[in-house]
Each structure stands twice: as structure tokens, then as C-alpha cells.
Structure 1
């Protein structure tokens, strides 16, 4: 089984960025973590632990905060806790899940490895770093426990997987597009400058990028509701809006599928 990995790092506006990439059978996935003011935001994947370790060890880290429980964001948490003795904080919704051996499909283990158990503490509505107070913003939709973090001092916003890309074409089975719309709307009520996404990296003109994604999803939602109200079945709607088939859909046995976008919108509409 040939899995190709790579890693690179850069600094943008005093934020240290580590970016690991995994490629397998024509599908290429990447994940970022960020370090600023002694705070590490997300930990990367277990499959990339050897690549991320030197990056972590050369940084001056006081604490780790997690945007959500998915294994590409928590995969190196056990290493950071056990080897570097760092405290870890996250939404309390998935604390117990993270204390146990992770259970997720084989294809995700191929890409992201096997996340080892770790113990995190509940994060509050705010937290403090060396030079700043941070807002903890609830942004569910992609994951039930999803959070975004805003550094009040610098205006830097770390959005986890809230953005990823402007035009969503496939979604996880448990994702809710209407909930993501609400989360984007909530984030946009805050004042912020730079935006850092765990998959897209640094977003140029981040507020405008998040606004465009919100507008895209609102338009998409309206189109799907109209087609459904006109009598089209979900299978007909998906063929109308998303005729292209993506490799991740077949590789994931449809855990990632355009149909999940349709279904989440129809479910909320009924």
C-alpha cells in the first residue's frame, strides 16, 4: 500500500504554520496546524506524526486547543501530551470519545493513521495566552463539537474546517449544511482580520472568503429547496446540481457524497 507523504512549514503574520499532505490512489489530502503566542491550534494526523514532530519540538508551546475531534486534527495529541507534557483543551462534547481508541473507517486510517487516546480538558468561552484573550466560538455543522478561535489582540481567526473551500461539492454523512450556514453567519458577526483554515491554510481577504462561502451555501440551499418543492427526488436533485462524481465518494464508500448536502438541507426544510 503506497501512501505518499510530505510536509512543509512557513510563517505568515507571526503564525507558524505546519502543513502535512497524504496522497493515495489519486486522492490528495492535507491538514494544517498553527502556532501563535504559545498556542498550538490542532495537532495534525497520526499518519504524519513523524513529519510533525520536528515542527512541534522547535516551537515554544504552552497549550494545545482543538477545533474538533476528527482524527486529522487530533492525531498527534497523544504525542504532545505524553512526550511534551502539554495541556489540551477542546469542546466537552467529545472528551470521552477522545479518551478511547478511535473508531472510524479503514480509508480514513489509511490517510490519517490511528489516533491514539488522549485526555483533554473542557475549554471555556474564552482562554488566555501570553499576550491575548481569545474568544471560543461554537461553529458546529462539520462536526458536532466544532469550534473557531479568535485572538482578540491580533484579530486572527482560526476556523478549523468551517471553510475548507468556497464551493462545497461533497459532505460527510453527518454534516449539516444549514448548521454550517448558521455557524458562518455567527463567525461573521465578530471583528477579525487574518483567517487561517486547517485545510486551505491562510486565506487572503479572509472575511470576504467566508462571506462568499456563506452566500454560495445560501444560494445552494435555496436551489435545493425549490427543486424539492417542485417534486424532484433527492437522487434527481443531486444529478441536476452535482453531476460530477468525485474519487473520495467511491474511496470512502459514500461516507463523503454530494447526496449528504441534499439530504441535510431537505431534512431541515421538512
Structure 2
């Protein structure tokens, strides 16, 4: 397990990548290359699989491709985007670095490593191309950003809480116990942790819909359920905000999805 940590104005986050059976899962952020590149250079990597296109997961993909000639694989939706320079807000460039272009090939429903067959599980919601990877021989599940923590308080503008709930339900239909999260690291009671997150988000969804059906507007619902102001909302200029949790749930209800 490779690990680096970023800190900015009281906000701290660990970033992990994982190597198992010749498969590297995610590559860390470019801003953390002083931690990740020496670690990656010493590994015997057969292939890289990416949980999603975000720059804290793909920041060192170009290094692996250019310097180590390692093949990279990801869900097909954002492959073309990743062939160009990372196009994302300045605060994220300062936080995670400037991702260089790389070329990935599309994953199918399964892939092979040296001693195992892997399930590729579609888990959108946090990102349109988000995947989880299950090693069928060991029962270990690699979840990218599906977990991170139980009690989600802020979300990206494009995130969908209802879709994340569906993704949690989907992975929980598989047989696994240990979970490896790109930010929380190793979770020995991973199935229980994912169930706790599912219960929290489902309860939150119910509370938001109840308040909405009582006639409360989104901003009032946000203030009732998330009264605290989070630093990330300020320095991201609102790209991360509790209101996005509320809006994604209401939008699904009003769209009839």
C-alpha cells in the first residue's frame, strides 16, 4: 500500500494506492509524487487499473506509462478526456497537482492477474466512470472513493447520492469482507463499514425527502441537516458543498428517476 497525505487550511486527506498480484490499483496524486514515485518505481507491476478519472487517482499514471511502460486500464467513458491535460479548477491543481496526459485501454466485466480473476463492478455516483474491483480468489474489494467515510457531509456538485446508494447496494451483493479504500485505507470489517454508509445515506435521503415534501426549500433543508460551514466549501468556491447532497436527492425525486 502506497500512501501520501495532503493538508491545506485545516483540511487533511490521505491518498492510497494498492499493489496485489501484480495489479496496481490507482496511482496517487501528482502533488504527492515525492511519496508515490519512489514507491511505484520499486514495484513489480504487470498492469494498472484505475477506479476513476479524478486527478488524485490518476496523477502518476503518465509516469507509469512513460517511464515504466506499464499498461493502464479504466472504464471507457473518460479515456479520451485523460488523453489530454487535466482540466479542473485551480484549487484542485494546487491541491492535487497538474495531471499529465496518459493513454488507457477500456476494462471489460472481468480481468486476469497472475493468480486471480477479478470482477469489475460499476459504481458511479461520485464519478461517472467509477469502478470497484473484487479479487474473486481472495474476496478483497477495492472501492476507490465509494466509501471514504460513513457520514458524508459535503459532496461534489456533480455527485449523486441516490446513485451512490445504488452503487453501495450493488457491491454489497457480492461476497467479500476486507475493503481497501483509496482514502480511508484498509478496512478489516469492510462489509460492515459499507453497510453503515448505506444505512446513513439511506436515512439521510429519507430525512431530506420528508422535509422537501413538507414544503421546505433546499437551502433550508441544508441548514437544518448540515448547520456547520466546512472549509472545503469556501476554498473550492462551492464545488464541494452540503447543498449538492440535498439537491441530488430532490432532483432524483422530481425527475421521477
TM-score range, shorter chain: over 0.9
Match of 1:74 among 29, 33, 58: 58
Structure 1 residues 106-155: Cα deviation after superposition (integer angstroms, max 9, x where no partner): 11111100000000000110000000000000000000000000000000
Name the TM-score, length of structure 1 as normaliser.
0.93
CA distance in 1, matches of 2:193, 2:8: 29
Structure 1 residues 51-108: Cα deviation after superposition (integer angstroms, max 9, x where no partner): 2111112211100000000000000000000000000000000000000011111111
The alignment partner of 2:176 has SS state of coil
Structure 2 residue aligned with 1:212? 196
Structure 1 residue aligned with 2:168? 184
Match of 2:94 among 110, 125, 128: 110
The alignment partner of 1:43 has SS state of coil
Match of 1:163 among 137, 147, 171: 147
Q: How far off is 1:29 after superposition?
A: 2.1
The alignment partner of 1:68 has SS state of coil
Q: Would you say the 8 A contact 2:156–2:240 is kept in 1?
A: yes
CA distance in 1, matches of 2:220, 2:63: 47
Q: How far off is 1:204 after superposition?
A: 2.7
RMSD: 0.6
Matched, 1:151 2:135: yes
Matched, 1:242 2:226: yes
Q: How far off is 1:27 after superposition?
A: 1.7
Unaligned runs of 5+ in 2: none
Matched, 1:127 2:84: no
Structure 2 residue aligned with 1:259? 243
CA distance in 1, matches of 2:61, 2:123: 21
| Structure 1 stretches of 4+ moved >4 Å | none
